[in-house]
A and B are shown apart, each in its own frame.
Chain A
Amino acid sequence: MTSMQQVNPRVLGIREPSKLQSLAACVTQEIRQGANKPFKKVIDVSSCDPHRAGMDPVSFVRQVLAVCLYPELLEDKSLPLDVRQRAQTLLGACEGRSVGSYSTTSCGLPLVQKSVAEFITSRDVGVKSRLEDIILCGGSQKAVSMVLHLMASREGRTQTGVLTPAPCPHTLPALLEMCGVKQVLYHLMEDQGWAVDLNEMQRALKAARGHCEPRAIYISNPGNPTGHVQDRETMEELIRFVAAEGLVLLAEEVYQDSVFGHDKEFLSYKKVLFDMGKELSETVELVSFHSLSSPCIGECGLRGGYMEIINMEPEVTKHLKRMLGPYTPPVLPQLALQLMVNPPTPGELSYQTYLQEILHIKTTLSQNAQRAHEFLNALPGMTCQPAMAGVFLFPCLHLPTEMIEEAKMLGVKADVLYCQRLLEEEGVCLGAGCENGQEDQNYHIRLCVLAPPDTLDQVLARLRSFHLRLLSRFP
């Protein structure tokens, strides 16, 4: 029998996933089996999973997908004509007119690649995007892992390193470990709304060079979990830094559609790069990522996304595409992606409903983020930066020393202990800041605010109840 000694050491080295979500599932199961708890239902807002939280899918997307799945519905007059026409177009782009066929190539369906390229071109006001640079994948997590795997080289002092923000998306640290690249943390400035500090980035890079080969920098903009939106000036500085230091820029931009901060605007790294002139725009290696997990669409479970590859060495790109050969992306999410980047336009039958639904999601998000920020910031022992985009709030916990000591004794991080107790006592599941790569003594919690307002209110009420009770125990 295979023993632990015979398991791939790299797998052994991947950190354990957070126990919190499985604990939440356990508690849910216990309630289902009749256990008596101080709450009726567990609310899990530790990840960005809008549908799970109770948000509705976008009707147009689901209608078109239904017709694509069961083309007899093309004759169904109760479905809007534009839905059926779009399904017709999408089916035409599938091999054998079936969503059950493999994609045409390992990079996806050409029609979808084209739609994505057109979307990017339009978004970036004239900076052209090419079909050949678009690779469709089963989600941004998969896409990022592909690129990291491509870059992963060697061990020890020459191991590939990737500069990663602290805090980063909670799904990233384990991904880096699985791909065998070294995580090099650069701390974001909490008191400046989690802005990037270039000096800090340079410090991190310099320190890293002794014990790994930093080759890339991962940037999440708009920030996950920080909700920070970078301004052009910062982005230009980062691009110059990346160019000077010889790093590949990995730009995760999944929250680009959910900017709600006052006077804030999403700029893509590609756009900013190309506005800086040829010397940079023709040399800086950039990979941008986007996906169906975008808050407005929220189709996380479909697993679909894309990456756009700029200025990569052609021979390397060839190897990347060849490596993808046996793993073509699923077709249904590619079609959903096409609908995301090419939604109904004014005048089309489904436009009004589509617009209303998107506005409802955006308004809910923006109002929730503001309300939650005010609420949490008003709590003693908690400070919360306002979010400008995305779905998370990431408040800082000022925990009593006794609790920190207790956590140390129990062998867990203090923010994890906080979340465990919150789950047990109030049935609310949040994320612990250490999952986002935070290593310092500042403890954080992470909560997704994209949920029906009632649900969020419940979360906040239960959180306050727990938090005040906790503080009163340690006066």
Chain B
Amino acid sequence: MSQQAANGVPHRGKVLTLDSMNPNVKRVEYAVRGPIVQRAVQIEKELKEGVKKPFTEVIKANIGDAHAMGQKPITFLRQVLALCSYPELLEDNKFPEDAKQRAQRILDACGGHSIGAYSASQGIECIRQDVARYIEKRDGGIPSNPDNIYLSTGASDAIVTMLKLLVRGEGRDRTGVMISIPQYPLYSAAVADLGAVQVSYYLDEDKCWSLDVTEVRRALNEARQHCNPRVLCIINPGNPTGQVQSRQCIEDVIKFAKEEHLFLMADEVYQDNVYAEGCKFHSFKKVLFEMGPEYSSTLEMASFHSTSKCYMGECGFRGGYMEVINMDPEVKAQLTKLVSVRLCPPVPGQALLDLVVNPPLPDEPSYTTFMKERSAVLAALAEKARLTEQIFNTVPGITCNPVQGAMYTFPRITLPQKAIDKAKEEGTVPDMLYCMRLLEEEGICLVPGSGFGQREGTFHFRMTILPPTEKLKVVLEKISHFHQRFTKEFS
């Protein structure tokens, strides 16, 4: 017994303190839900309490949440999920036959015919088979093995799991993880949380945010002096940049990864969100296999997809999967063991994923409506992407690359030196100062570029293109006027 305990004196001070806690956790930041969002939520509260502001609502263009911005869910998906939830509805004629069949098939694959039963930790087997078939179809027949498919709680869960598997070593041997600048800050957060080394490679803003292998090589060589770079993360289509990589670029990355013995992690959650003329989504797996066995039988890769984006926008379900290629069977067994610790991914998310990879076929009753809804969503996004680029580029001081894909724009803003100085004075960074002012004056919530990474001396913000078109036009106008006001104020 401790002396204090012997004296009957309660232990003074907290057990869990900033000193005793996991030091890695202290380094985690996630700008998408960071301080600016907290302020936005506070302002919403104030508005509700009747506080007078120059605006009546806060527009949360900070997070890639389509439904929150008014996008409607796809009817077919929700019908099947409702049937899975309450199977008595299978007797109801208001539901089409194909929805009922899908629901029945999913329920048959669940323990006790209930979505409330645990599933196998790698995911329900017939759903993994459906995912494999979907990948094969998408990739022109290149085989996909269901055993290589791991269902997950959103793509984020799978990404972190993969990193957890691969991060090891001390000091100069510590695993380095290559991530793009700018990047989706899940990656930097996960790297910090795992105590891995972040190895940044810059995307080329002047070339539409394309990836240049020479730059990646530069970053790799420099990193080799202080860590052991082992993983290369690519987001395609990109977040926050929206760039859709060319086939050539993807081939170059694959060659590079093979030469340098890097594990390639291809985040492809926006694969249906491609808008720009001349741009096409090429899956890393397809390109890899089309490059022949020299690459396809050696390069180690994991591809990630989810139910959160594309035309579904079902972020709240946390559905997703990864496909792993060319993993050593023993190492793969370790991966399988690792995912078993957290039991299983949410079954509704697995069910939803099954529908996404198994949508209505042309001869099925729900097909017409499904395709109509899907096309409408994607067409609206394409229009908004175009509109955003067009309007922002008319504003002096804002330069906007084409939004080739995904759901965001990441324009570069020129800030007057006085604003930069003011930010320093206030102990913040210039694009945060800018975004905070925008929030306070116009009720528009964006995320400062510093949250995603950018070249020193440059400033950006990330805005989603998700608000309904009419509202988006208003938002774009307000930001344009704000920018000019801000520039004038600080000249």
Binding site for B on A (CB under 8 A): 1-4, 6-9, 11-12, 14, 16-17, 25, 47, 49-55, 57, 62-63, 65-67, 69-70, 72-73, 76, 78, 94-96, 98-106, 138-139, 141-142, 145, 149-153, 171, 174-175, 178, 202, 206, 215-216, 241, 243-248, 279-280, 283, 285, 298-303, 311-313, 315-316, 319-320, 322-323, 325-333
Contact = CB atoms under 8 A, between A and B. Distances in A.
A209 B321 CA distance: 42
A101 B67 contact: yes
B11 A245 contact: yes
Nearest to B326: A1
B127 to A, nearest CB: 13
Nearest to A171: B343
Contact of A105 (B41, B83, B153): B41
A12 B110 CA distance: 31
Contacts of B68: 95-96, 98, 101-102
B118 interface: yes
B32 interface: yes
B485 interface: no
Given A6-B166, A66-B86, A319 B21 contact: yes
Nearest to A205: B1
B166 A95 contact: no
9 contacts: A1-B327, A57-B116, A100-B317, A141-B343, A248-B16, A283-B10, A301-B119, A322-B28, A327-B153
Given A70-B78, A153-B22, A2 B85 contact: no
Interface string B263-282: 10000000000000000000
Given A7-B165, A279-B10, A149 B25 contact: yes
A153 B23 contact: yes
B204 to A, nearest CB: 26
Given A3-B331, A150-B25, A100 B316 contact: yes
A11 B335 CA distance: 8
A16 B317 CA distance: 29
Interface string B179-220: 000000110011001000000000000000000000000000
Given A244-B5, A313-B18, A8 B164 contact: yes
Given A1-B327, A247-B15, A330-B349, A8 B28 contact: no
Interface of B: 1-2, 4-5, 8-11, 14-18, 20-23, 25-26, 28-30, 32-34, 41, 63, 65, 67-71, 73, 78-79, 81-83, 85-86, 89, 92, 94, 110-112, 114-121, 153-154, 156-157, 164-168, 185-186, 189-190, 193, 230, 263, 298, 300, 312-318, 326-328, 330-331, 334, 337-338, 340-349
Given A149-B22, A153-B21, A301 B165 contact: no
Given A52-B114, A141-B342, A244-B1, 18 more contacts: A4-B328, A6-B166, A8-B164, A49-B111, A65-B85, A76-B94, A100-B315, A102-B316, A104-B41, A105-B41, A243-B11, A244-B5, A245-B1, A325-B33, A330-B317, A330-B349, A331-B316, A333-B346
B70 to A, nearest CB: 6
A6 B316 contact: no
A244 B25 contact: no
Contacts of B9: 244
Contacts of B82: 66-67, 69-70, 73
B381 to A, nearest CB: 16
Nearest to A53: B112
A72 B111 CA distance: 28
B331 A7 contact: yes
B86 A65 contact: yes
A2 B166 contact: yes
Contacts of B330: 4
A285 B15 contact: yes
A124 to B, nearest CB: 22
Given A54-B112, A66-B89, A248-B16, A16 B118 contact: no
